[in-house]
Amino acid sequence: MARRCGRATSRFTLYSREIATLAVWLCLCLLLPSAVEAGLYTASDQIVQLTPGNVESVLLNSTAATVVEFYASWCGHCIAFSPVYKSLARDLKEWKPAVDLAAVDCAAEENRKVCISYSIRGYPTLKFFHAYSKAGSTGKPFRDFPRDVRGLRHKIIDQLETHSETWPPACPPLEPTSEAELDSFFETNNVQHLALIFEEAKSYVGRELTLDLLQFENIAVRRVLKTEEGLVTKLGVTEFPSCYLYYPGGNFTRLKVKVEARMFYSYALQRLQGVVRSGKPPPVTTDGLTNSTEDPWRPFNRSRVYMADLESTLHYSLRMEVAAHTIIKGEALIALTKYIAVLAEYFPGRPVVMNLLKSVNSWLQNHIGGEISYDAFKEILDNSAQSPDTALPEGVRWVGCQGSQPHFRRYPCGVWTLFHVLTVQATNAEDSDPQEVLYAMRKYVQSFFGCRLCAEHFENMARESMTDVDTLSAAVFWLWSSHNRVNNRLAGALSEDPNFPKIQWPSPEMCPACHMVKDNGDHQWNKDQALSFLLSYFSSSSILKDYLEDEVQILAKQREKHTSQQLALEAQKHIERKAREALDLMTHPLTSQPTVEEEEEEEEEEGEEPQDEAMADEEEEGGEGAAAADEIGGKTSEPSPWAKPEMEVGRSRRQAHRKPSIVGMRMRDVQEDIVDLDSFVNQHYKAKALQVAASSRVRPRTLQRKVEQESGPVFGLGMELDGGLGMVGLQPMEADLELDVAQQTKRLQKRELTSQNFGEELSRRGRWMSMLNIGFSKVDISLCVILYFMSTMCLLAMYVFFKNRLKLRRVKISLP
């Protein structure tokens, strides 16, 4: 008997050891992503990070050529080179379909084999992989490569030109064109504009521009050498470089730019009539805009800041985004306190709004204890004490941040604008902390900003350089240039509004003096001019007050809401009392807290509970402002993805301050406004390149390029991607819950919710689903589930392991 027990134990031990090993291994796997992050580049740098898993798919048989940096994260030269490589990636962003940048950290244990297989001995090593590289290809090394963006760019062009048979399909021909070719150009190419760059043979401008515009439709760029005398005399060209637009009839005009340089040409060409980014619908006129959104279109001046946007941003941020946290504590509380403090100090708002911000600020400053509930915060935010002349207008009225579609621009645009305004306002306060506003923004974005990937990218930038900010103007600068980095990254992304393309801001038209060129012809900002432009653009005196809701009206609405809330509260108390009496009669009190899903299920089916009906009635009567009671008895279903299961203490408190259901319902807007798609940009390019590749595997190197591209269903691509990835949120999450088409259409229209027209069509379940969806993709959620599962495994394994060790020891001790 004893022996059998012993054997059983040992088998069990073996088994548990296996589990333990497995779990430890799994835990290690989980730690790996952070090891990858330890490299010199992050996901925000537009550089493909190679790993043993993706190296083959990136480098072999790719439609684009690839430049790879092999580095070691500890090597000083690599660290010194990394900012150059990052700028290069930003500089060559538009070239991605033809040539992409990648990097691999050879110091990371898991990458060792990769680096060995490419025979890397020193760091940093740059290698060029041709398009359609075959297995076994180890790339062409760049020997003694230059350590500046311009030099590297030229080197890459040189390498691109070495492609012989298998030219990267997305890459237009780079060699100079001749008069003979031009004659037949329009016969074989279906483009509206042909830009000719006249230049010296050693100049790279023509080829750079060809690549800069390769993702744009309706335009082709060709270089013409100074030695092409026929054309030079025909067009009367005297300056090199210079750019001419050439048309089918043989007529031509010179492109007018401030400086004859790449960036100015590129900007001007992208804005020519009819030129659109591949895969993007063409910009629509404001006529079409008026009807594409439910909100009436508000005409506005594109080069001005509107107070209506700033107030809408405050409303959205404080009533929607912060509301996702039922209890605010720790980092989030610090973030909120800082944010409100900065707003109270620098927001250039009207007196009513300033009074409100100040009262919220003093409430937060005087608050004692480590946490606050959102409901308590909201009492102050909604001025429940009814202090005179104090209010934050409800609802959003986007003006300068209107988008051509409901899912474009709006809130994130407002967030940028708000913080630009705040950094500029702070420069008026002489002795304040230069990093104060930026710190508040960083913390806010980190804790609350619904677009989690955006927050991650922003945090990467902040970590990199925010701490270097040492003056108030440097803070203005930092935010401006960080915003431009984001614009660069997002240009062409699906989240870009075709009517408001992402540019390096301000454009040469807006601020000609801000732009200049270096001696080598590269673009450079004139920092002094840019600073004075920013200071005046975002100054409080130039903020327009159009479309603002009238103060008297705001205050009246607030009073009304307050009164109806009071009434609802009374009714609520009455019902609760009754409910409690009914509960007392029941024999089994609620013992365990139901899990979130259970709650949802129950709420769906619990029509039979009498209280529920009473509540529903009240909800209808209460109208918008009513503190509609959507929770019953002891159950609370605060729909926050971040919220932990409620504690007993919080519960009774929250019953008293019931959260108006309007808050929960409007949360769905978060998902709509913020479309983080830039992680899919690469895939988008790939798809495009492949599509082109399919139409012509090996491209003849002539002028005929655009014709073939023309045939693809270019327009549909973006839309298909949207639908396929479910990113844009045209389909609300709850769409899969057996809804008929009509309802769905209605819902789509309803996406344009303002404070007034939230509605009965939002089922409770739908609300919860959209809650779950705030800033979380499905991937995020499944990652959470996996993480949760794995930590459980770890704990289990540890438990089993130690238990068995104890047992073993006990067995050993008991044996002589």
Ligand X SMILES: *[C@@H]1O[C@H](CO)[C@@H](O)[C@H](O)[C@H]1NC(C)=O
**Which of 274, 258, 165, 163 lies closest to 217, judged by CA?**
274
Q: Which helix (H) or strand (E) holds 103?
A: strand 99-105
- Spatial contact of 84 and 69, defined as CB atoms under 8 Å apart: no
**Nearest to ligand X of 405, 447 (CB atom):** 405
Per rule CB under 6 A, is residue 632 in the interface with ligand FAD? no
**Nearest to ligand X of 56, 331 (CB atom):** 56
Distance CA 12, CA 800 (A): 10
Per rule CB under 6 A, is residue 536 in the interface with ligand X? no
- Count the residues of the shown chain that bind ligand X, applying the rule CB under 6 A: 13
Site string for ligand X, 541-580 (x = CB under 6 A): ----------------------------------------
Stretch near ligand X under the rule CB under 6 A, chosen from 263-271, 285-293, 322-330, 449-457: 285-293
**Nearest to ligand X of 81, 538 (CB atom):** 538
Considering only 208, 599, 631, 678, the residue that binds ligand FAD (CB under 6 A) is: 678
Three-state DSSP string of 533-552: HHHHHCCHHHEECCCCCCHH
Distance CA 100, CA 77 (A): 22
Distance CA 514, CA 530 (A): 5
Considering only 76, 249, 369, 388, the residue that binds ligand X (CB under 6 A) is: 249
Q: Return the one option of ligand FAD, ligand X, none that residue 61 interacts with (CB less than 5 to 8 A, by type).
A: ligand X
**Nearest to ligand X of 696, 755 (CB atom):** 696
**Nearest to ligand X of 175, 295 (CB atom):** 295
- Spatial contact of 72 and 29, defined as CB atoms under 8 Å apart: no
Three-state DSSP string of 143-154: CCCCCCHHHHHH
**Nearest to ligand FAD of 128, 444 (CB atom):** 444
- Spatial contact of 179 and 225, defined as CB atoms under 8 Å apart: no
Site string for ligand FAD, 380-419 (x = CB under 6 A): ---------------------x-------x--xx-xxx--
Stretch near ligand FAD under the rule CB under 6 A, chosen from 233-241, 429-437, 450-458, 763-771: 450-458
The residues with which 373 forms a beta bridge, in sequence order, are: 327
Distances in whole angstroms, Cα of residue 177 to Cα of each of 207, 463, 548, 705: 11, 47, 56, 14
Distance CA 142, CA 155 (A): 8
Per rule CB under 6 A, is residue 312 in the interface with ligand FAD? no
Tokens 């003006």 sit on residue: 399
Per rule CB under 6 A, is residue 788 in the interface with ligand X? no
> How large is the C-alpha radius of gyration of the chain?
31
Considering only 234, 304, 574, 809, the residue that binds ligand X (CB under 6 A) is: 304
Q: Which helix (H) or strand (E) holds 512?
A: none
Angle 10-13-16 from CA coordinates, rounded to 5°: 155
**Nearest to ligand X of 400, 732 (CB atom):** 400
Per rule CB under 6 A, is residue 339 in the interface with ligand FAD? no
- Contacts of residue 109, defined as CB under 8 A and 6 or more positions apart, other chains included, come to 35
**Nearest to ligand X of 566, 745 (CB atom):** 745
Per rule CB under 6 A, is residue 486 in the interface with ligand FAD? yes
Q: Return the one option of ligand FAD, ligand X, none that residue 505 interacts with (CB less than 5 to 8 A, by type).
A: ligand FAD
Distance CA 605, CA 462 (A): 48
Distance CA 629, CA 635 (A): 12
Q: How far is C-alpha 802 from the geometric centre of its chain's CA atoms?
A: 45
Q: Kindly state the smallest distance separating residue 458's Cβ from ligand FAD, in Å.
A: 4
**Nearest to ligand FAD of 416, 758 (CB atom):** 416
Q: What are the start-end ranges of the E strands in 466-561? A: 515-517, 523-525, 543-544
- Contacts of residue 528, defined as CB under 8 A and 6 or more positions apart, other chains included, come to none
- Contacts of residue 6, defined as CB under 8 A and 6 or more positions apart, other chains included, come to 811
**Nearest to ligand FAD of 223, 457 (CB atom):** 457
| Three-class SS state of 438 | helix
Per rule CB under 6 A, is residue 138 in the interface with ligand X? no
Stretch near ligand X under the rule CB under 6 A, chosen from 299-307, 437-445, 517-525, 807-815: 299-307
Per rule CB under 6 A, is residue 445 in the interface with ligand FAD? yes
- Spatial contact of 262 and 209, defined as CB atoms under 8 Å apart: yes
Pairing of strands 193-199, 216-217: unpaired
Q: Kindly state the smallest distance separating residue 468's Cβ from ligand FAD, in Å.
A: 18
Where b means 16+ CB within 10 Å and e means fewer, 385-413 reads eeeeebbbbbbbbbbbbbbbbbbbbbbbb
- Contacts of residue 744, defined as CB under 8 A and 6 or more positions apart, other chains included, come to 731, 735
**Nearest to ligand FAD of 391, 677 (CB atom):** 677
Write the DSSP string, 336-351: HHHHHHHHHHH----H
Q: Kindly state the smallest distance separating residue 523's Cβ from ligand X, in Å.
A: 24
Q: Return the one option of ligand X, ligand FAD, none that residue 291 interacts with (CB less than 5 to 8 A, by type).
A: ligand X
Distance CA 124, CA 75 (A): 8
Site string for ligand X, 61-80 (x = CB under 6 A): x-------------------
Interhelix angle for 411-426 vs 472-490, to 10°?
160
**Which of 117, 86, 91, 123 lies closest to 102, judged by CA?**
86
Considering only 188, 286, 291, 553, the residue that binds ligand X (CB under 6 A) is: 291
Per rule CB under 6 A, is residue 484 in the interface with ligand FAD? yes
Q: What backbone torsions phi and psi does residue 446 show, to the nearest 5 degrees?
A: -65, -45
Q: Return the one option of ligand X, ligand FAD, none that residue 185 interacts with (CB less than 5 to 8 A, by type).
A: none
Distance CA 672, CA 405 (A): 10
Considering only 144, 165, 287, 430, the residue that binds ligand X (CB under 6 A) is: 287
Pairing of strands 125-129, 99-105: unpaired
Q: What are the start-end ranges of the E strands in 208-329? A: 216-217, 219-225, 242-246, 252-254, 276-277, 305-306, 327-329
Restricting to residues 675-704, name those near ligand X by CB under 6 A.
693
Q: Return the one option of ligand FAD, ligand X, none that residue 304 interacts with (CB less than 5 to 8 A, by type).
A: ligand X
Q: Kindly state the smallest distance separating residue 594's Cβ from ligand X, in Å.
A: 48
Per rule CB under 6 A, is residue 490 in the interface with ligand FAD? yes
Stretch near ligand X under the rule CB under 6 A, chosen from 247-255, 328-336, 357-365, 414-422: 247-255
Q: Return the one option of ligand FAD, ligand X, none that residue 347 interacts with (CB less than 5 to 8 A, by type).
A: none
Where b means 16+ CB within 10 Å and e means fewer, 302-328 reads eeebbbbbbbbbbbbbbbbbbbbbbbb
Assess whether 78 carries a catalytic annotation: yes
Considering only 347, 480, 525, 768, the residue that binds ligand FAD (CB under 6 A) is: 480
Q: Return the one option of ligand FAD, ligand X, none that residue 290 interacts with (CB less than 5 to 8 A, by type).
A: ligand X
Q: Which residue is nearest to ligand X (CB)?
A: 249
**Which of 218, 219, 223 lies closest to 197, judged by CA?**
223
Which of 78, 106, 115, 451 is labelled catalytic? 78
Q: Return the one option of ligand X, ligand FAD, none that residue 480 interacts with (CB less than 5 to 8 A, by type).
A: ligand FAD
**Nearest to ligand FAD of 137, 446 (CB atom):** 446
Considering only 676, 727, 734, 766, the residue that binds ligand FAD (CB under 6 A) is: 676
**Nearest to ligand FAD of 471, 757 (CB atom):** 471
Considering only 12, 25, 74, 247, the residue that binds ligand X (CB under 6 A) is: 247
Per rule CB under 6 A, is residue 442 in the interface with ligand FAD? no
Residues recognised as catalytic:
75, 78
Residue ranges binding ligand FAD (CB under 6 A) = 401, 409, 412-413, 415-417, 420, 445, 453-454, 457-458, 480, 483-484, 486-487, 490, 493, 495, 497, 500, 505, 676-678
Residue ranges binding ligand X (CB under 6 A) = 61, 247, 249, 251, 253, 287-288, 290-291, 301, 303-304, 693
